[in-house]
Amino acid sequence: MAFKLKSKNEILNLHPDSNGDQLIRLDNLPDDVYGYTDQDKTIWVNQNKNPKMQTKAIQHEKKHVEQINKGKLWFDDNFYYWKQDKNSRQHRIPMSKIDTADHGLPWEKEAYKK
């Protein structure tokens, strides 16, 4: 009797592109959410979207991870912090004042250009 072993990514419910450099988790997200990045720079992708849309969401979220790594974007439970470049001033925006789906936010503008 033959059987196929599941990959590590399948067992852990990770996207096939997930690796040691970038953790990409699949989850049952609300239908209007394609993906997001958390404070630990883990990318979460809606497992109910087709592979093409998942790939687009991953590319978008990787831009946010890049912004975090460069010190341009970071956030905690209360605020988003944005600094366009090392010479600009930091903006601190309360979470309660932000619609995270707003494409006009400076960090979203950059991510949607990609």
How many CB atoms lie under 10 A from the CB of residue 31?
Answer: 9
Could you tell me the two tokens for 53?
């849309």
Question: For the chain, what are the domain ranges?
Answer: 8-113
Per residue in 23-44, pLDDT tens? 999 999 999 999 999 999 999 9
Res 56: pLDDT: 96
**More confident: 42 or 2:** 42
Work out the percent of the chain whose per-residue pLDDT is above 90. 74
Could you tell me the two tokens for 76?
């905690």
